[in-house]
Amino acid sequence: MMLRRLLPLALFALLMLPAAAMAAEEAGQKEYVTELFIGLIVLVIAIFAVIAGFEASKARRKPH
């Protein structure tokens, strides 16, 4: 259930990567583009890890 709520948010963050990179490049801040990509990718991976943890704990509590 939580995966269904946060997955669109994570996908939206991934879709924002090229736009953010282009904006930073136009502003002449090319050194920040790589840091921005790495930061957003780490953020998306962290969101998925938290979701997976919640889903796993929910699956353990639910009797099969």
Q: Whole-angstrom Cα distance, residue 54 to residue 17?
A: 26
Q: How far apart are CA 56 and CA 41, in angstroms?
A: 22
Q: pLDDT by residue (tens digit) across 8-61?
A: 777 777 777 777 777 777 767 666 667 777 777 888 788 888 888 888 887 787
Quote the DSSP letter at residue 27: T
* pTM to 2 decimal places: 0.50
Whether 64 has a pLDDT exceeding 70, the answer reads no
Largest CA distance in the chain: 56
Q: Which helix (H) or strand (E) holds 62?
A: none
Torsion of CA 19, 21, 27, 29, to 10 degrees: 160
